[in-house]
Amino acid sequence: MSVTRLQYPAGFFDGVSAQRQQVEVTIAAAGLLITKPDASTVWWPSEEIEVTDRGQPVRLCRKGRPPQELIINEAGFLEAARLGRESGESSLAAKIVALLAILVALVWSLYQFVLPAIGERIAASVPVELEERFGRAVADRFAPPDSRIEDPRAQEAVEEIGRLLRAELGRTRYQFRFYIADDPMVNAFAAPGGHVVIFRGLIKMTRSPHELAAVMAHEMQHVRMRHVTRALLRTLGIRALMSFIAGDTSGLVFDVAALAGDMHFRRNDEEHADREAMRLIQRAGFDDRAMVKIYRRMARETADAPGPLQYLSTHPEMESRVETIEKMARGGAPRALLPGRKWPPL
Amino acid sequence: MPYCTQCGSEMAEAAICPSCQSPEPVPAPPSSSRYELKFVGSGAPMLWIYLVTFLLSILTLGIYYFWGRTRIRRYILSMTELDGERFAWHGTGGELLIGWLKALVVLAILIGQYLLFMLGLGTATGEVMGTIILYAGFMMLMPVALVGAWRYRFSRTSYRGLRFAFRGRVMPFFKLYVAGSLLTIITFGIYFPVFASKIQRFFCRHTFYGTARFDYDGKDSALVGPWLLALLLFIPTLGLSLLWFTMRQANYQWSYSSFAGARFRPSYTFSSYFFLIFTNLLLVVFTLGIGYPWAEVRGLRYMCSRLPLEGVIDFASIQQRAADATATGEEMSDMFDADAMDIGLGF
Ligand SMILES: [Zn+2]
């Protein structure tokens, strides 16, 4: 059995002067006794000792002000003084890998399960008026009022289709408003609370009112099922998580436009909106083949047109969605929609 | 039994005992020397602290974050040495949490008014009004938060057993900052290097280490020329001229700064700094962020190793000031003395 060494030479700062003193440290039962060259002593009680560095050299400080400091250059001191072990880096890599795996699993499950669940809860309790106001702000950002087309013919056509669809939509808390944005992009989007924006480029691309009705039905179903509000809350949640990871709270100072900009629906939401839109079209007696046609054309024509706001980027996986609705289409004789009108109305 | 002929202690044979042979060395008369600043930490321990912080932060709904930050800071300072002696950090997570809560209250008021304006009025003017108040508020809070952060950080840092202290007051700095910001805006940015120089002076002249002090005697207008050049070349160099200016400014400001009578001798260069940033970027990107602590270590090594001091620091004559040693209560009661700056700095 080896005898534990109890005396160690050390460097000492007394907290009064910046001068380093060479001292002798004696390990005692209740603390450390520091003996200076002039034989005067300083007593450090155990409860006031803090190990600030376990490496070489070992550093201790005495809590409280002014801070006194001890620097001991010899291995084995920490264990002899029952202050723990000197740091070894051998197992650190393994520990890091293990912790990393736990973290990835944790973040993934947060992202996949916890955030959506929280978003759902909050979405359910957001009052309609708030959704309505927020939706207006989003619509105003993406399609500012002064860039909207005030063409009465086009507006009338859109309103009429909207009215017919609304009648078959069933009970919903929302009032729908339709805006036509003067923009060549092939796109449409539903802001929360029933504000539906349709871009000029999309209307120009439709070959019949039935085709426009198909896209509008899809957006209206998004509104009815609160996909937009949920997606916004989800995006906000992810932002909060990201800024938490990055330690940067400025990300929480959210801006409506920026928020809606990197928002995207989940594929589930899209397919759900497609199916419900198809049913709505069929209930309203519109041409369900037209929906397949416009979807197919959008998939083809926007596939090679990059742009942050193109229909494809906000509406992913177009091809497989076309197949899904194609299976649902019955292709019966449709009712007349806006008969005797020139189409497209722009 | 033989004795030491000088002090009389027992010896194996009559001679002068070892402690009498080599008496306490008489300190050499101060001659100019070089004091190296060094960062000796490494990436793996830092990554470990980051990961633990991240995990515990999630599990405690963010509360642990402040304690984790404190651990990182303690590690960084304990791995930084000047002339072979390490620094030490004495702050606590609780203090950071309190600082954050103070900042949160102010932030909540600012963002609250913005939302009220935006949703309440629902008009473009309302939003503009709210935005103006938001940004003006941030600008006014900046100097207050800076002084608070400096006061907090220095008072919690020690070296050779003595504390640092930042003794600048909020009001003078607030005036300096608001006047400097306005002049910078009015002169389309030309005033900026003068403003930065004034900040450096305020910063140095109010930063103490025990009874010793930092100082800055640079000329405020010295860097106006390089600054104009950097602005002119901004577009042709794709913004790299700003990086060049940053290094030029760091070199100038530090070479006119001193600590306890010794001058800083910075040797930052554009090419070395650019290389550092570029390689660090690759390091972080290609490791999907895992390499971040190593990038941080490289940055700290670079910053420290190129900032030695030259001159005479008479450590024996530097004493702890009683005010710095007992100021805890007084400083904590100061509303502005909180580290709100930390929140935006990332981790
Ligand atoms: Zn959709």
Distance CA A197, CA B231 (A): 43
Query: Which of B30, B67, B61 is CA-nearest to residue B260?
Result: B30
Q: What part of B 283-322 touches A (C-beta under 8 Å)?
A: 290, 315-316, 318-320
Distance CA A37, CA B22 (A): 13
Distance CA B174, CA B47 (A): 37
Q: What is the pLDDT of chain A when averaged over all its residues?
A: 81
Q: What is the pLDDT of chain B when averaged over all its residues?
A: 81
Q: Scanning the structure block, which residue is given the tokens 């669940």?
A: A117
Q: Would you call B48 and A244 a contact, using CB atoms and an 8 Å cutoff?
A: no
Helix (H) or strand (E) holding B333: helix B328-333
How many residues make up chain B in this entry?
347
Q: Specify whether the CB–CB gap between A345 and A208 falls below 8 A.
A: no
Interchain CB contacts (distance < 8 Å): A and B: 120
- Given this model, what pLDDT does residue B193 score? 92
- The ranges assigned to domains in chain A are 7-82, 127-328
Percent of chain B at pLDDT exceeding 90: 30
Helix (H) or strand (E) holding A73: none
With bands split at pLDDT 50, 70 and 90, how would you rate the model's confidence at A184?
confident
Percent of chain B at pLDDT exceeding 70: 82
Is the confidence at residue A275, as pLDDT, over 90? Answer: yes
Distance CA A335, CA A288 (A): 11
Q: Specify whether the CB–CB gap between B93 and B67 falls below 8 A.
A: yes
The one-character DSSP state at B319 is B
- Given this model, what pLDDT does residue B346 score? 27
pTM of the model: 0.67
Which residue has better confidence, A156 or A134? Answer: A156
Task: Report chain A residues touching chain B, CB-CB < 8 A.
Answer: 13-20, 37, 52-53, 59, 61, 65-69, 87, 89, 92-93, 95-96, 99-100, 102-103, 106-107, 110, 130, 133-134, 136-137, 244-250, 253, 256
Instruction: Classify residue B21 by burial, with Cβ atoms within 10 Å: 0-12, 13-18, 19+.
Output: exposed
- Given this model, what pLDDT does residue B342 score? 42
Q: Which tokens sit at B184? A: 């910078």
- Given this model, what pLDDT does residue B10 score? 55
**pLDDT (average), residues A97-122:** 81
> Which residue among B45, B62, B160 places its CB closest to the CB of A244?
B62
B25-80 pLDDT, tens digit per residue, is 455 555 678 999 999 988 988 999 988 988 888 888 778 888 888 899 889 998 99
Q: Specify whether the CB–CB gap between A128 and A243 falls below 8 A.
A: no
Q: Would you call B58 and A106 a contact, using CB atoms and an 8 Å cutoff?
A: yes
Which ipTM was obtained for this model? 0.71
- Whole-angstrom CA distances from A59 to A69, A244, B164, B325 are 7, 33, 19, 20
- Given this model, what pLDDT does residue A244 score? 61
Q: At what angle do helices B240-255 and B270-286 cross, to 10 degrees?
A: 120
Q: Would you call B343 and A66 a contact, using CB atoms and an 8 Å cutoff?
A: no
Partners of B86 on chain A (C-beta within 8 Å) are 53, 59
Q: What fold is seen in the domain A7-82? A: PH-domain like (2.30.29)
